[in-house]
Amino acid sequence: MVALTIDNLAVEVPEGTTILEAAGSAGIHIPTLCALPEIHHNPGACRVCMVEVDRARTLVAACVYPVANGMKVKTNSRRVREARQGVMEFLLSDHPQDCNICQKHGNCELQQVAEQIGTRDITVPRTDFTVHDIDDRSEALVRDGSKCINCLRCVTVCDQIQAVNLLTPEGRGFDSRIVPAMGHSLADSACTFCGQCAVVCPTGAIVEKDHTNLVWAALEDPSKHVVVQEAPAIRAQLGEAFGMPPGTLVTGQMITALRRLGFDRVFDTNFTADLTIIEEGHELLERVKTGGALPMITSCSPGWIKFIEHFYPELIPNLSTCKSPQQMFGALAKTYYAEKEGIDPADMVVVSIMPCTAKKYEAARPEMNDSGFRDVDVVLTTRELGRMLRQTGIDLKNLPEGDYDPPMGEYSGAGTIFGATGGVMEAALRTVYAVVTGKNLPDLNIEAVRGLDGIKQAGIVIGDLGEVRAVVAHGLGNARTIMDQVASGQADYQFVEIMACPGGCVGGGGQPLPATNEKRRLRAGALYRDDGEVQRLRQSHENPSIKAIYDDFLKAPLGEKSHHLLHTHYTAREV
Amino acid sequence: MLKKIKSFEALQDIARQVAQDHQKYRLRLMVCGSNDCHLTGSNEIIDEFQKQIQQRNLEDQVQVVATGCIGSCSMGPVMTVWPEDIFYMKLQPADVGEVMDSHVEGGHPVERLMYHDPNTGQAIAHSADIPFFARQHAIVLGNKGLIDPESLRDYIWQNGYQALHKCLTALSPEEIIAEVKAAGLRGRGGGGFPSGLKWEFCANTKGDVKYVLCNADEGDPGAFMDRRIMEDDPHAILEGMVIGAKAINASQGYIYCRAEYPLALERLYAALDQARSMGLLGKNIMGTGFDFDIEIYKGAGAFVCGEETALMTSIEGKRGTPRPRPPFPAISGLWGKPSILNNVETWATVPRILFDGGDAYAKIGTESSKGTKVFAVTGNINNIGLVEVPMGTSIGEIIFDIGGGVSGGKQFKAAQLGGPSGGCVPAAYLNLPTDYEAIVKAGAIMGSGGLIVMDEDTCMVDMARYFMDFCQDESCGKCTPCRVGTKRMLQIVENICKGEGRPEDLDLLESLSHTINDASLCGLGQTAPNPVLSTLKYFMDEYRAHIEDKKCPAGVCADLFTSPCQNACPVEMDIPAYIALVRAGRLADAYKVLKRTNPFPGVCGRVCGHPCQSKCRRSQLDEALAIKNLKRFITDYVPPLRPEPIPVVHPEKIAVIGAGPAGMTAALEMKKRGYAVTVYEALFEAGGMLRWGIPEYRLPREILARELQEILDTGVVLKTNVKIGEDISFDDLKSDHDAVYIGIGAQKSSPLGLSNESAAGVIGAVEFLRDYTMGKDVWVGKRVAVVGGGNSAIDAARTALRLGAESVTILYRRERKDMPALEAEVKAAKEEGAVIDFLVAPLEILVSDGSIKGLKLQRMRLGDFDSSGRRRPRAIEGQIVRMEIDMLIPAIGQQAELDFLSPATQIDDNTKDTVAIDAGGNTILVNKDYSTDHAGVWAGGDIVTGPAMVIDAIAAGQKAAVSMDRALREAKGEQPWKETEDKIEIPVEVDEEVETLLQIRIRELSTAERSRNFSEVELGYDEDMALREARRCIRCDVKTEA
């Protein structure tokens, strides 16, 4: 342990602790715009966290400066305050001042830190800005470099966490900017649209593309039949947008809210999550039996799909051909549901609420129109739905609980846990076990694949199949580790679950900000609670609505209709 | 197959062989083969020598060697002939034949091609006697001019690799580090961190893999010492690095060198190959079992990669941006491994330290800064080049003794030390020792040793702008203060340069500087504000001039003036306009243009110090335009104007005391503004110093009379023979007038401060000249001594000669270059027979019977520098000489007579309503607008500034008039006066091509014609001469739209 004083308080912390962390432990909040507590990228770039350390010639950056025995730190001297204000003036002098119309207004760390620092004036010239084009060509993300403060968080996340390494500093000095490699548009790059950059961005420099106006227009068009589906993770975090603690399950309020917004039907993506388990489980069994490409890798995470298409195109045959639950939903809404209700699919608008920015991209993929129409018309992130609800004045907290509409609203706990890393694997193993052995798993909770460890492995003996070796990875950096093993033949897994975002969908790029591991844990906990405590059914194949859709429409897993509507193909892409 | 070196004896064998090889030749012609000498043609010279040696069959006797840089870059191409040590400079291929004939074959070195002392004009044959070399102390540059940089054998001949052998066989790592610590070696790259301590940290850090790194990413503008060491003595770096590797137990080293240094890279690669093949690098070095190899990493030339952590990040293959410290590289450096990084100069010093021992090295230099330092001396200096001096050598010694002083005869203004991270120090700091701490205290840094000399034509605000621009351009952009802050500072400085600065910008710049310094991530940002901070500290007046007066005194910031000549003129005469009018033959218009801003153009055309000419753009091509002569030409050829009296429209009455140029100008300007003006003159005629102080042979009376008359014609009333304080009291004058302007000049010669100054035969220059011009019967001695170096001294000397003195000696305590007198005047005085004795000062006036009989003179030498940047004369003990004279004219300065101001007026009686006088009692203190603290009283001219140029007095009169008029009108609530002037169209005739053409010389009386009379010496231009001279104007005032 290291003993030091911070603002005359005696503090004792473990060796290697930064001043920022040590101060935090003493109840002193040192502002920062570039530090990321769980990533430790230590750029020391924004210089907002400057503090005074005895014997140091200049101020030091608290976020990177390690504590030492006997060190005396001042976090609130005049010198410190002036330096912070100076740095903040520099940042604001090269930052647009039209905060009121920024997507991050009220949720902007730059605003918050400026407020904490007490900035009231910008004395330096503001006549010269770095000029940037706004890159809004992709479906998912909008990048506005003029709002970028070069904190390097996105660069670190894109490189160290997601292993995409697309965002990079370019140019020198005042002209240096953070751009996709070679200055390309995100739309033309290897960006996976995972949105983790948007999650860490302290300003509005990278945000989700806002599609709420499209939804308003559809809802206001009497000729349209507008249906909505919500991803498994939404129910565990929409509450955060209304100040509720992370991990609050708001399923019923969410349904009521959506209905009040004016959706004609409120369905659930969990339903098609269950369906995915049926199709994917059978696909796995078939591959095992027929000697197909193994390990089979899950395909519900569109950021992950784009990643493998760019970086491991040779492993595309290993991807499950199953569409993601969102896309299965869209394809079935405009066929199965349309037929059943006698609605012209041309008049139907399918909206989905997703934790994910890449889902916007996925819905717009050209092959996603097996219903004869674009299967999913509009994708909103959790954040966008929160904004829509706030516009209407709906106070989620105080809404009565509603219930889903049939026939695509019923779901099992297995569908819900899709929202957490390992959930797809757990759900699939439950069903595969049942299909192969005709019995339920002795313990439906497969703890080995739960939690936030980057890579989780499990081996489960499933009847005649023997031991099925499964591995779960979340975050594309971890995915890369697994893929390198698979590509080099070192892996002996049969089944791989990959989620692009850390924590899975509960850590998605479209979720309420900011994201921390603690929040991811609490959100996942809510999903497991839904599975273990709330839902009557816990296995996908037990879902009566799933049985019904096979009986009425699809006939059999991997059947012809399934093949046409629920499965897809992938495209090798260049880096 | 080369035999690997495995013993000390093997090294000595090679050294012996090389020495024998050299001795075979009678003469060795060591031609500098460095880049700069290449550019000026050293290759051709080498070829020519080789050709001629062959033709003359001298191959066995004479050898030609291309050596590394010897540092005297502005003298190149240079050659030293060994073993005689005869030094030749500025060699041309055409000179080779003469050198071969006369020197190589004839044994008579060619004096013409030698270095000539700028003061004495004497040729100096041996490089050891040339101050540039003699005052240096070469250690790290010890091999310069001696070895072929591409020859490992030559390096070994000069004791190369012996230190390494010692380190590998006789010393433990601890002992090596102890030597480096004992030497007191500090990092030569800029930081000045003790190298031995750094090595020790690293040696004590646990780790199997450690790295030795060499920073060869030299990037300061003007710095090239590291490049030269790499090019000229690459093995010294390698040897140093291997020694460092042994000290910390590393097996791999990297040299990080910018790709813009192709020759350095080529020589390094070659040296690495040679060293490996001889067993001095690689596996089992010198058979000792020690392994170490070096790889070269080529950087793309980003300045920030000179920062150690950025350099390592770059070697790691990433974008070269700095990372936070701690951890320090000695703990976690390249690829996270313990590493030591030193720059080229540091590494090249290491073998010398280990060879001679740390204690020997520590004897050189100062207490805290040991050893020698290489400086790259550039800018406005005569001897541009590389110099190595013991630390502690003053920057004045480097600039003036070694560097040969400021080029072009200009005044020294500042030295920029330490590159973009450094700072500028003014003339008052020429005694500053080159010691790490002392330089930091002065606001600069040692840096890597860049020393840029700046002369009077440098604008310090523009200079700060340049360095700020450099830093903001080279900022990596990683941290906010450096990325945005340097840009914002640059914008502010740019605004100031454009005349858009605000008074509050000065405080803002200072506070931004502190923020950037305190909050930046790496050294680049932390030091980026230094050039601004140091110029704010020492050159605040220049910033103020840009902000408050919208004026760039040095004539650099182009947005603030139309032409540099006009900018330099205190009254901003429209010089390009009247010269264009001369060219167009419109002399009457030209005269009107002259008169707009200067009531005394004829006077100024003769006796002005013409600061305009020193800024003339044409001088960059050949020679400045003769603006003074053209001005005079116009007044010579245009008949006097007969101005109508200007009507009085204001009730206020103005009094002007003193009818000199300041007073008469103020009077005219107030008259123009419609006031009743009376000038009170103590003597019987107007003109002041122009009338009484300047001899007629320089300024004929009728010229002055004409211009004074043109002023009186406007209705200015002149009352002569009225002495304020005697004939009218100052208080009465004050109460009779609404505004009083004091322009009485400085009328008394300053005494020398010796006893017997009242003896007969001693008379001050001002009194002497005035007595003569007033027609008094002036006694002149036979042997006259004049003490002083200004224009008055010269005037007194030339007048004494004209009045019959047999000999006139001007005694001056400094050197010729320090004399403030105009160059042409000094020359004329010498032509007329005056003798100037330099470095001498009167010590005692010898008197007999109340009359002067002689002087005891103290011989002087030049010591340290005073605040004006000139060396202080110091007595040479025991060197006292006697001089027989019968007349002594002190001309060392002038004093004012301020007795007319009553004590009540002078002394602050708590009303503050006084005319304040400076402590010496010689000048009146005024505000910026020339008002005194006594309401209604203004002052200007020599009485405010001390003796200055006529044009300064004219400017003072004008500015005071503007301020008086404004004050009087403001009291009545009126708007300030605006001049209505006739529109004169100025032709724009610009030659497409400018040919080299020197000034048209003015006609002069011959020495014989002028020697004993007061006829005007200069005769001016005729029309043809004037036209030709006017055509030399390149019209730099004409701005074309880009």
**Set of chain B residues whose Cβ sits within 8 Å of the Cβ of A44:** 323-324, 479, 521
Q: Residue B848 forms beta bridges with which residues?
A: B851
Nearest to B518 among A66, A83, A90 (CB): A83
Q: What is the pLDDT of residues B784-805, one digit of tens each?
A: 999 999 999 999 999 999 999 9
Nearest CA in chain A to B489: A124
Min distance A65 CA to chain B CA atoms (Å): 7
CB distance B319–A128 less than 8 Å? no
Task: Note whether B410 and B498 are same-domain residues.
Answer: no
**Set of chain B residues whose Cβ sits within 8 Å of the Cβ of A67:** none
Q: Which of B560, B578, B610 is at the close of a domain? A: B560
| Whole-number Å distance between alpha carbons of A36 and A153 | 7
| Whole-number Å distance between alpha carbons of A185 and B312 | 31
Rounded to 10 degrees, the C-alpha dihedral A514/A520/A522/A527 comes to 120
User: Does any domain span residue B2?
Assistant: no
CA distances to A198, B113, B687, B890, B917 from B747, in Å: 80, 51, 13, 14, 16
Q: What is the 3-state secondary structure (H, E, C) of B803-835?
A: CCCCEEEEECCCCHHHCCCCHHHHHHHHHCCCE
Q: What's the whole-number mean pLDDT along residues A538-555?
A: 95
Nearest to A172 among B324, B475, B491 (CB): B475
Which residues in chain B land under pLDDT 70? 1-2, 902-914, 1041-1042
Mutation site for A-interface testing, chosen from B313, B479, B486, B527 by largest number of A Cβ within 10 Å? B479
Task: Note whether B703 and B772 are same-domain residues.
Answer: no
Which tokens in the block code for residue B942? 């020599």
Q: Report the pLDDT value the prediction gives residue B907, as an integer from 0 to 100.
A: 45
> Which strands, in side-by-side order, build the sheet including B385-390?
B385-390, B372-379, B450-455, B412-417, B423-426
With H, G, I as helix, E, B as strand and everything else as coil, classify residue A247.
Answer: coil
Which residues, in sequence order, are CB contacts of A51 under 8 Å at separation 6+?
A19, A23, A30, A59, A60, A62, A65, A73, A74, A75, A80
User: Does any domain span residue B130?
Assistant: yes
CB distance A86–B491 less than 8 Å? no
Q: Report the pLDDT value the prediction gives residue B1042, as an integer from 0 to 100.
A: 56
Q: Report the pLDDT value the prediction gives residue B40, as an integer from 0 to 100.
A: 83
Task: Note whether B298 and B355 are same-domain residues.
Answer: yes
Task: Note whether B381 and B478 are same-domain residues.
Answer: no
| Whole-number Å distance between alpha carbons of B366 and B186 | 12
Q: Report the pLDDT value the prediction gives residue B909, as an integer from 0 to 100.
A: 45
Which tokens in the block code for residue A543? 């879902």
Active site residue A306: no
Min distance A260 CA to chain B CA atoms (Å): 47
| Whole-number Å distance between alpha carbons of B828 and B811 | 17
| Whole-number Å distance between alpha carbons of B107 and B528 | 56
Which tokens in the block code for residue A100? 């009121």
- Give the angle A57-A63-A67 at the CA atoms, nearest 5°: 65
CB distance A90–B484 less than 8 Å? yes
User: Does any domain span residue B646?
Assistant: no
Q: Report the pLDDT value the prediction gives residue B960, as an integer from 0 to 100.
A: 96
Nearest to B515 among A44, A87, A176 (CB): A87
**Number of CB pairs < 8 Å for A and B?**
123
Active site residue A283: yes
Q: Residue B389 forms beta bridges with which residues?
A: B373
Amino acid in position A452? L
Residue A349 — left, alpha, or beta (φ > 0 → left; ψ -120 to 50 → alpha)? beta
Q: Assign residue B610 the CATH number of its domain.
A: 1.10.1060.10
User: Does any domain span residue B141?
Assistant: no
Of B568, B569, B593, nearest in space to B579 by CA: B593
Task: Measure CA B141 to chain center.
Answer: 26
Nearest CA in chain A to B518: A58
Q: Assign residue B432 the CATH number of its domain.
A: 3.10.20.600
CB distance A58–B517 less than 8 Å? yes
The answer, for A46 touching chain B at a CB cutoff of 8 Å, is yes
User: Does any domain span residue B979?
Assistant: no
Active site residue A359: yes
Q: Report the pLDDT value the prediction gives residue B408, as an integer from 0 to 100.
A: 85
| Whole-number Å distance between alpha carbons of B346 and B353 | 10
Q: Report the pLDDT value the prediction gives residue B868, as an integer from 0 to 100.
A: 82
The answer, for A553 touching chain B at a CB cutoff of 8 Å, is no
Of A489, A434, A508, A494, nearest in space to A458 by CA: A494
Which residues, in sequence order, are CB contacts of A537 under 8 Å at separation 6+?
A412, A413, A543
Q: Report the pLDDT value the prediction gives residue B910, as an integer from 0 to 100.
A: 46
CB distance A128–B485 less than 8 Å? no
Number of domains chain B contains: 7
Active site residue A38: no
Q: Which of B458, B489, B521 is at the close of a domain? A: B458
Of A363, A71, A356, nearest in space to A214 by CA: A363
Min distance A205 CA to chain B CA atoms (Å): 16
Task: Note whether B782 and B822 are same-domain residues.
Answer: yes
Q: What is the pLDDT of residues B878-910, one digit of tens each?
A: 999 999 999 999 999 998 888 887 554 554 444
Burial of B833 (0-12, 13-18, 19+ CB in 10 A): middle
Q: Residue B858 forms beta bridges with which residues?
A: B841, B880
Q: Can the peptide bond before residue B987 be classed as cis, meaning omega within 30 degrees of 0?
A: no
Beta strands in A136-276, from DSSP E residues, in sequence order = 141-144, 167-170, 177-180, 206-208, 225-230, 265-266
The answer, for A293 touching chain B at a CB cutoff of 8 Å, is no
A472, A160 in Cβ contact below 8 A?
A: no
- Residue the block writes with tokens 């009242």: B758
| Whole-number Å distance between alpha carbons of B944 and A22 | 64
The answer, for A87 touching chain B at a CB cutoff of 8 Å, is yes
Residue B741's φ and ψ, nearest 5 degrees, are: -115, 125
Chain A residues 136-195 with a CB less than 8 Å from chain B:
149-150, 152, 168-169, 171-176
Mutation site for B-interface testing, chosen from A124, A148, A159, A177 by largest number of B Cβ within 10 Å? A124
Q: Report the pLDDT value the prediction gives residue B1, as an integer from 0 to 100.
A: 47
**Set of chain A residues whose Cβ sits within 8 Å of the Cβ of B511:** 82, 86
Min distance A30 CA to chain B CA atoms (Å): 15
pTM to 2 decimals? Answer: 0.92
Task: Note whether B347 and B337 are same-domain residues.
Answer: yes
Which tokens in the block code for residue B59? 């191959």
ipTM associated with this complex: 0.93
Q: Which of B538, B560, B582 is at the close of a domain? A: B560
Q: Could you say which of A15, A115, A220, A367 is catalytic?
A: A367
CB distance B479–A42 less than 8 Å? no
B286, B5 in Cβ contact below 8 A?
A: yes
Of A92, A78, A102, nearest in space to A46 by CA: A92
Q: What's the whole-number mean pLDDT along residues A78-100?
A: 95
Task: Note whether B887 and B785 are same-domain residues.
Answer: yes
When mean pLDDT is compared across A125-139, A416-430, B600-614, B727-741, the lowest value belongs to: A125-139
CB distance A44–B323 less than 8 Å? yes
- Residue B277 CB neighbour total at 10 angstroms: 15
How does residue A227 score in pLDDT terms, banded at 50, 70 and 90? very high
Mutation site for A-interface testing, chosen from B314, B468, B480 by largest number of A Cβ within 10 Å? B480
Of B456, B434, B453, nearest in space to B445 by CA: B434
Nearest to B480 among A59, A91, A128 (CB): A91
Nearest CA in chain B to A125: B488
**Set of chain A residues whose Cβ sits within 8 Å of the Cβ of B319:** 168-169
User: Does any domain span residue B702?
Assistant: yes
**Set of chain B residues whose Cβ sits within 8 Å of the Cβ of A42:** 323-324
Active site residue A505: yes
Q: Assign residue B286 the CATH number of its domain.
A: 3.40.50.11540
User: Does any domain span residue B1037?
Assistant: no
Task: Note whether B599 and B704 are same-domain residues.
Answer: no
Task: Note whether B126 and B49 are same-domain residues.
Answer: yes
Which residues, in sequence order, are CB contacts of B862 under 8 Å at separation 6+?
B814, B815, B839, B871, B872, B873, B874
Q: Report the pLDDT value the prediction gives residue A131, as an integer from 0 to 100.
A: 67
Nearest CA in chain A to B519: A59
B864, B829 in Cβ contact below 8 A?
A: no
Q: Could you say which of A89, A362, A410, A497 is catalytic?
A: A362
Task: Note whether B91 and B228 are same-domain residues.
Answer: no
Q: Report the pLDDT value the prediction gives residue B1041, as an integer from 0 to 100.
A: 64
Residue/partner pairs of B581-589 with CB below 8 Å, 24 or more apart: B581/B984, B581/B986, B581/B987, B582/B630, B582/B633, B582/B634, B582/B1026, B582/B1027, B582/B1030, B583/B987, B583/B989, B583/B1027, B583/B1030, B583/B1031, B583/B1033, B584/B987, B584/B989, B585/B1027, B587/B634, B587/B637, B587/B638, B588/B638, B589/B984
Q: Could you say which of A148, A300, A322, A501 is catalytic?
A: A300
Q: Assign residue B776 the CATH number of its domain.
A: 3.50.50.60
Which residues, in sequence order, are CB contacts of B439 under 8 Å at separation 6+?
B417, B418, B432, B445, B446
Task: Note whether B664 and B606 are same-domain residues.
Answer: no
**Set of chain B residues whose Cβ sits within 8 Å of the Cβ of A92:** none
- Residue the block writes with tokens 């921390």: A516
Q: Assign residue B539 the CATH number of its domain.
A: 1.20.1440.230
Q: Could you say which of A147, A306, A334, A359 is catalytic?
A: A359
| Whole-number Å distance between alpha carbons of B389 and B687 | 54
Which domain covers residue B912, as residue numbers?
Answer: 653-747+896-972
Mutation site for A-interface testing, chosen from B193, B445, B483 by largest number of A Cβ within 10 Å? B483
Active site residue A280: yes
- Residue the block writes with tokens 């899709």: A418
- Residue B235 CB neighbour total at 10 angstroms: 29
Task: Note whether B260 and B350 are same-domain residues.
Answer: yes
Min distance B518 CA to chain A CA atoms (Å): 5
**Set of chain B residues whose Cβ sits within 8 Å of the Cβ of A86:** 481, 485, 511-512, 515-516, 519
The answer, for A74 touching chain B at a CB cutoff of 8 Å, is no
Q: Residue B406 forms beta bridges with which residues?
A: B381
**Set of chain B residues whose Cβ sits within 8 Å of the Cβ of A61:** 324, 521
The answer, for A128 touching chain B at a CB cutoff of 8 Å, is yes
Q: Assign residue B103 the CATH number of its domain.
A: 3.40.30.10
The answer, for A19 touching chain B at a CB cutoff of 8 Å, is no
